[in-house]
Amino acid sequence: MPGLESSLREVLDSLLSPHAKPQKVHAVEALASAAVPQLPRAQRRALWMAALPAAKPLRTAFEVDRDNAPALEEMNNDAKGKEKDQPLPPMWENLDGLPEVKVTSPAVAYFSKDIGAGEDGEMKPTFGCKCGAGDWRPAMSHPSITFRQEFVDLHPDFLGRVQKLRINLVNDNTQKTQWDATYDLLRFLKSGDVPTLTETTPAIPGSGTQLRFLTFCPEAAQNYTLKVTALDSNGDPIDYFEDDEMHLNATPGPPPPAEEKEPDLPNVKEAEKMAEEALVKEPGLESGGLKTEEEEPPEEGDITREIMHEESLE
């Protein structure tokens, strides 16, 4: 095919010749030339590289309609805006009666997004108790601990040194220990992740006096102190991260609204009596609802009255 060979030669000369003037190569011709198996691999690759930036992409049923892309993008933005305007459904229900826990003094090196309400998060409802001190029990998990990025930036060696966290939470009013345990941050840490204490990280057995976190269950306004100490691989406290304190305040939640009781139903006899009193009787109801005409006694004749009179005299 002399026509194809001459076309291929022109394309190759324009791409590969160092002294040739730059010419605009048609993308279709370059793709057709690159498909010829007789060409060396280097020449075919050069043709592909020249053709791909200029070649018009193929249209498929799954490809975005580029002609209508601005309109589609605007429609998608409108839909996203409507989704943002719609309020999200509540994540928790039956929150009446839960205590209110607030962070009154945050810690310097760490924060907890779920232990109490503050700048860094809100209290997780499962960490509160609304059944009173009589049914006080540990929570299913414990609060999380995350190191502040500002603290990590000021101490570049910290993430390389920390291995464990020692936690101690005490009720300042009752001196009751509600959480006392040590956690190994590197035990379940994935490669490349930053060490944090997740709410499902198990405590080291025998590392404290209260390994399971006791829920907040105050009968009155009470204060709490949370102390966290970072330990290195030898179990020694890191000098600039020892007993870093966070202070909290917990108050009993408002009582749940009283349930509306249904009125007590009367017993059967009282109901029957009330029905009889409320029933409006009509003539004939006593005889099964059939009205009967009152029968008048027959008229007595003169003979009958005389006979009755005589019998009375005898």
**155 assigned to some structural domain:** yes
Decide which of 196, 216, 251 is a domain's last residue: 251
- Both 32 and 159 in one domain: the answer is no
Query: Number of structural domains, the chain?
Result: 2
Q: Using DSSP, state whether 71 is helix, strand or coil.
A: helix
**Residue 227 identity:** K
Q: What is the dihedral of CA 266, 268, 272, 274, to 10 degrees?
A: -10
Shortest CA distance to 126 belongs to which of 111, 143, 139, 115? 139
On the question of pLDDT at 117 being above 90, the answer is yes
Domain that holds residue 45: 2-51
Decide which of 26, 51, 76 is a domain's last residue: 51
- Both 46 and 160 in one domain: the answer is no
**90 assigned to some structural domain:** no
- Both 29 and 132 in one domain: the answer is no
Decide which of 209, 226, 251 is a domain's last residue: 251
Distance CA 127, CA 119 (A): 18
Give me the pLDDT at residue 272, please. Answer: 74
The pTM for the full model equals 0.56
Enter the tokens of residue 4: 């194809």
**287 assigned to some structural domain:** no
**154 assigned to some structural domain:** yes
Distance CA 165, CA 310 (A): 128
Written as one string, the DSSP assignment of 158-211 is HHHH--EEEEEEEETTT--EEEEEEEETTSSPPTTPPP-B-TTPPPPTTSSSB-
Give me the pLDDT at residue 58, please. Answer: 46
Give me the pLDDT at residue 238, please. Answer: 96
**177 assigned to some structural domain:** yes
Shortest CA distance to 229 belongs to which of 135, 144, 165? 165
Give me the pLDDT at residue 60, please. Answer: 45
- CATH number of the domain that residue 125 is part of: 3.90.280
pLDDT interval class at 169 (50, 70, 90): very high
- Both 33 and 151 in one domain: the answer is no
On the question of pLDDT at 250 being above 80, the answer is yes
pLDDT, tens digit (0-9, with 9 covering 90-100), for 254-299: 776 666 666 666 566 777 777 777 665 555 555 444 445 555 555 5
Report the alpha-carbon angle 63-67-70, nearest 5. 100
- Both 151 and 228 in one domain: the answer is yes
Distance CA 114, CA 122 (A): 5
- Both 122 and 244 in one domain: the answer is yes
**73 assigned to some structural domain:** no
**27 assigned to some structural domain:** yes
- Both 33 and 125 in one domain: the answer is no
